[in-house]
Amino acid sequence: MNLLRKQQTRAVLAAALLLASSAASTAYAASWRVDPEKSKLGFSGIQTEVPFQGSFGRYSAAISFDPDHLDTSHISVTVDLASAATGDSQRDTALPGKEWFHTAEFPNATFESSAIRALGGNAYEADGNLTLRGVTRPLTLPFTLEIDGSVAQAKGRVELSRDAFGVGQGPWATGQWVALEVGVDIAITATRED
């Protein structure tokens, strides 16, 4: 069979399976529930040449993932930007403001994956779109994944330029006081929902 026929056949089979089963079967990517106690969605930056770390206290993720069915795997994350905390009262008061996250108008940031690729071993990459402060840009999130039974641990890090999203307006739009490059670190522990 040529490649196109193979793909079509597979699609028909998948559709048939879906119709035949009442619940998501193992042929489809399983749903995973993030354990907030064991997970962290962090970010890092540099302010006046001094590095700082922070994390988001409130976020939700809808993850359907199966290493054997990456084509039907999907990651969707919604982050409550007002929950950002860096341990510095002045910084934490400034972050939701109009010059930075502007949470009054843009309360959430979202990441929607469009494709997930296996890179070999336990390394993966999720292509997707990040929407932050009302601006949507493509973002590729590399991560490593360990699955032990029904528990998965994913660790990933991505650097992005905050000015692409308009985070940091006016005098903050240059890297003079706060570096334009910021890091996002994810460390997720999730349990497979059966």
Partner 1 sequence: MTRPHRSSRQYTLVAILLHWVMAAGIAILAIMGLVMVHVELAPARLFQIYQLHKSIGVTILLAAVLRLVWRLMHRPPPLPDTMQPLERTAAAGGHLALYFFLFALPMTGWALVSASVFSLPTVLYGVIPWPDLPVLPGLSDKAPVENLLKQVHAYGAYALIALVAVHAVAALRHHFILKDDVLTLMLPKRSGSRRRSTSAQTEGPSS
Which residues would be at the binding site for partner 1 (CB under 8 A)?
47-50, 88-90, 93-94, 97-99, 170-172, 176-177
Cα–Cα nearest to 28, from 75, 70, 61, 77: 70
Joined together, the tokens standing for residue 6 give: 């193979």
Joined together, the tokens standing for residue 70 give: 């990456």
Instruction: Give me the least distance between CB of 164 and partner 1, in Å please.
Output: 21
Nearer to partner 1, 65 or 100 (CB): 100
Nearer to partner 1, 97 or 134 (CB): 97
Are the C-beta atoms of residues 156 and 123 closer than 8 Å to each other? no
For residue 6, CA distances in Å to 3, 13, 67, 117 come to 5, 11, 20, 20
Instruction: Give me the least distance between CB of 118 and partner 1, in Å please.
Output: 43
Nearer to partner 1, 2 or 93 (CB): 93
Instruction: Give me the least distance between CB of 156 and partner 1, in Å please.
Output: 30
Nearer to partner 1, 138 or 171 (CB): 171
Nearer to partner 1, 4 or 50 (CB): 50
Q: What is the DSSP letter of 29?
A: P
Instruction: Give me the least distance between CB of 87 and partner 1, in Å please.
Output: 10
Q: Is the dihedral of CA 158, 164, 167, 170 positive or negative?
A: positive
Instruction: Give me the least distance between CB of 163 and partner 1, in Å please.
Output: 16
Joined together, the tokens standing for residue 130 give: 């990040």
Q: Which residues, in sequence order, are CB contacts of 128 under 8 Å at separation 6+?
A: 75, 111, 112, 113, 114, 115, 138, 139, 140, 141
